[in-house]
Amino acid sequence: MYTDPIADYLTRIRNANMARLKTVEIPASNTKKAITAILFDQGYIANYKFEEDDKQGVIKIALKYNQSTKVPAITKIERASRPGLRKYSGAAEMPRVLNGLGIAIVSTSRGVITDKEARKENVGGEVLCYVY
């Protein structure tokens, strides 16, 4: 049992990227499913699939690499808010990652969305992670 499932999710993706694996399997939760869908929509992963099993289910993620240089699409993925120190941000103070080139994934009252969508909808929330 681990205390921070989102940090475990991010670490599994980071480790699979460094090992140049094609796919990675992660135990599922609703928050992880939402983060995975955002990563796919923003073009950081090639594909994903949710599989049900007798427990909580599994997310299978196909990682994305540059075809010629074999560089991962996710250069850096890091946890912002953690159980010991939560980081909240209002719509006006929403962080810009790499001056808009990266994304911050935010958990809001309207669901898990990117920082750009949170600014557009004028909602704040807990900053889960930064991806670029």
The predicted-structure confidence for 4-31, as pLDDT tens digits, reads as follows 999 999 999 999 999 999 999 999 999 9
Q: Indicate the Cα dihedral angle 47, 7, 78, 34, nearest 10°.
A: 40
How high is the pLDDT of residue 1?
61
Residue from 7, 38, 21, 51 nearest 105 by CA: 38
Burial class of residue 105 (count of CB atoms within 10 Å of its CB; 0-12, 13-18, 19+):
buried
Residue from 76, 84, 75, 30 nearest 57 by CA: 30
The predicted-structure confidence for 60-107, as pLDDT tens digits, reads as follows 999 999 999 999 999 999 999 999 999 999 999 999 999 999 999 999
Burial class of residue 73 (count of CB atoms within 10 Å of its CB; 0-12, 13-18, 19+):
middle
Query: Any idea which residue has 């289910």 for tokens?
Result: 57
Query: Which residue(s) pair with 114 in the sheet?
Result: 105
Q: What is the pTM of this model?
A: 0.94
